[in-house]
């Protein structure tokens, strides 16, 4: 969970090594956020590790029950009517503006709300320049494609492309996947948000393959099923910075969709 409070921002997760110890890992982008948490409501927080992971630069652990008590104490202490104004008072206008940016970004959730019984074909999809899919097989592996001659600087990437005139986002994504990988697929979900790349933004669907593949188009040199743990190393080979960042963001979103922590 993300905990965005007036005294700081932390991400709280259970790492595999935490399970047997009945503890949680708390991660932060600002060291003082963890230090303040320890000083005010969580005295059992462990010493802070620096650069101990691939995302957040600061992290520490605490017993699960103590974290729950700390969060409850913070909730009971709420005495303000405007959160962003309170953040500005405690941390200054710049942090309040960052939190405001998060609030504005989360407004997009309203446009992506989908009832749980809505079939994938009826998903409300933003209109963007291109659509694609992340194929996941029964073993939990992801399908990557190697563009011919590493076109655009992409060494390994996901299948995606522009829609044909009058083509729906879902149809465009399924067609691009079939053409660029040889796999027919079915849509299982929609990754939230849009992913900006070198030639525009992309919307990505989660998919599963249907049957064996047929020949893919000349645009693809080869396809490869890879584990989630190995996918990052493949995608990081792309030499175009913006395209590489986009595909890594797609990988993270796919991992979140699957409920798996990305490496």
pLDDT of residue 111: 46
106 pLDDT band, cuts 50/70/90, is low
How long, in residues, is the chain? Answer: 263
pLDDT band at 113 (very low <50, low <70, confident <90, very high): very low
Closest CA to 115 of 126, 123, 106: 123
For 40-87, what is each residue's pLDDT tens digit?
999 999 999 997 656 789 999 999 999 999 999 999 999 988 888 888
- Note whether 240 and 198 are within 8 A (CB): yes
Decide: 176 and 161 in contact? Cβ < 8 Å. yes
Three-state secondary structure call for residue 194? coil
Torsion of CA 16, 18, 22, 26, to 10 degrees: -120
Question: At residue 109, does pLDDT exceed 70?
Answer: no
List the domain boundaries for the chain: 2-87, 126-258
143: three-class secondary structure by DSSP: strand
CA-wise closest residue to 95 among 83, 107, 108: 83
Q: Cα–Cα distance between 8 and 28 in angstroms, integer?
A: 9
pTM summary value? 0.55
In 3-state terms, what secondary structure has residue 178?
A: helix
Q: Which CATH number fits domain 126-258: 1.10.600.10, 1.10.260.40, 3.90.79.10, 3.40.718.10?
A: 3.90.79.10
Q: Mention every residue, 6+ apart, whose C-beta is less than 8 A from residue 162.
A: 129, 130, 172
Q: What is the pLDDT of residues 122-162, one digit of tens each?
A: 566 777 789 999 999 988 999 999 999 998 899 999 999 99
Helices marked H in the chain: 31-40, 64-76, 83-91, 93-106, 108-111, 169-181, 228-235, 241-258
pLDDT category of residue 205 using cuts at 50, 70 and 90: very high
Per-residue pLDDT tens digits for 92-102: 878 888 887 77
pLDDT in tens, 171-191: 999 999 999 999 999 998 899
Q: Which residue has the tokens 């960042």?
A: 245
**What is the sign, positive or negative, of the torsion defined by CA atoms of 77, 78, 83, 88?**
negative
pLDDT at 112 over 50: no
Judge whether residue 262 has pLDDT over 80.
Answer: no
Average pLDDT of the residues in 239-254: 92
Return left, alpha or beta for 131; rule: phi > 0 is left, psi -120 to 50 is alpha, else beta: beta
């Amino acid at each position: 969970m993300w905990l965005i409070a007036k005294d700081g921002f932390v991400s709280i997760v259970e790492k595999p090594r935490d399970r047997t110890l009945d503890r949680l890992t708390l991660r932060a982008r600002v060291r003082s956020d963890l230090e303040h948490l320890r000083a005010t409501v969580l005295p059992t927080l462990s010493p802070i590790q620096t650069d101990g992971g691939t995302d957040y630069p600061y992290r520490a652990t605490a017993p699960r029950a103590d974290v729950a008590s700390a969060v409850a104490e913070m909730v009971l202490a709420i005495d303000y009517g405007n959160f962003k104004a309170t953040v500005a008072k405690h941390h200054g206008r710049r942090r309040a503006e960052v939190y405001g940016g998060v609030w504005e970004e989360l407004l997009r959730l309203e446009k992506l709300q989908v009832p749980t019984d809505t079939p994938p074909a009826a998903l409300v999809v933003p209109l963007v320049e291109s659509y694609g899919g992340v194929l996941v097989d029964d073993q939990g592996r992801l399908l990557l494609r190697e563009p011919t001659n590493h076109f655009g600087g992409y060494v390994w990437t996901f299948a995606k492309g522009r829609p044909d005139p009058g083509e729906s986002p879902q149809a465009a994504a399924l067609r691009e996947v079939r053409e660029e990988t040889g796999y027919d697929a079915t849509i299982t979900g929609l990754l939230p948000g849009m992913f900006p790349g070198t030639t525009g933004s992309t919307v990505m669907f989660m998919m599963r393959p249907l049957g064996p593949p047929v020949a893919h188009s000349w645009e693809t040199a080869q396809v490869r099923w890879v584990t989630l743990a190995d996918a990052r190393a493949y995608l990081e080979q792309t030499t175009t910075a913006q395209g590489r960042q986009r595909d890594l963001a797609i990988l993270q979103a796919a991992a979140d969709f699957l409920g798996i922590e990305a490496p």
